[in-house]
């Protein structure tokens, strides 16, 4: 972990993470993007038109059957270079600290991220997508179809940071 890029800012708080894990995961592939550093990544996948690829490991390639029937996918991935354990963060753009679970930051106890991507095509074990926002080589956890009928919440809102109800 690069302390300059992923370090703790004033006002931030870390949780004492347990020594043992509650679950095990298998990475199913890697995400290939043009970005080599966190600072080089877009803030979200809608801020870029970059073509990215999803490389699926051989044992999981059969799981891609009929995937080209989807126009959009949800990719779940592991931000393996992110700070772990932050429960309060001080975003650069905010006027005060925010709870981690009210943010989309990669710094969190379990650095799981998601993106809704446009599926542009498949070539064997590789998917071509648009809409990623992660560092090149990020491990892939899962792929799910995006259903506009159930996944979209047009009335969803996020209140101003720091404001408690």
By residue count, the chain amounts to 165
Confidence of residue 151 (pLDDT cuts 50, 70, 90): very high
> Stretch 88-106: mean pLDDT, rounded?
88
Confidence of residue 94 (pLDDT cuts 50, 70, 90): confident
Q: What is the mean pLDDT of the chain?
A: 89
Q: How many other C-beta atoms can be found within 10 angstroms of the C-beta atom of residue 73? A: 19
Name, in order, each residue with C-beta under 8 angstroms of 18's C-beta and a sequence gap of 6 or more.
none
Confidence of residue 5 (pLDDT cuts 50, 70, 90): low
Confidence of residue 74 (pLDDT cuts 50, 70, 90): very high
Cα 2 to Cα 12, 55, 121, 133, 138: the distances in Å are 17, 25, 34, 19, 16
Least confident segment among 15-24, 65-74, 126-135: 15-24
């Amino acid at each position: 972990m690069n302390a300059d890029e992923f370090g703790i800012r004033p006002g931030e708080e870390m949780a004492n993470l347990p020594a043992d894990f509650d679950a095990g995961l298998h990475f199913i592939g890697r995400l290939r993007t043009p970005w080599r550093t966190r600072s080089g990544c877009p803030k979200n996948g809608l801020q870029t038109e970059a073509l990215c690829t999803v490389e699926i490991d051989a044992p999981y390639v059969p799981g891609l059957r009929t995937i080209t029937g989807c126009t959009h996918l949800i990719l779940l991935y592991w931000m393996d270079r992110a700070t772990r354990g932050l429960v309060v963060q001080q975003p650069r753009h905010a006027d005060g600290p925010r709870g981690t679970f009210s943010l989309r930051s990669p710094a969190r106890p379990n650095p799981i991220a998601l993106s809704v991507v446009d599926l542009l095509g498949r070539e064997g074990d590789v998917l071509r997508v648009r809409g990623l926002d992660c560092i090149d080589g990020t491990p892939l956890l899962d792929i799910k179809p995006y259903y506009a009928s159930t996944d979209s919440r047009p009335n969803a809102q996020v209140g101003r940071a720091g404001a408690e109800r």
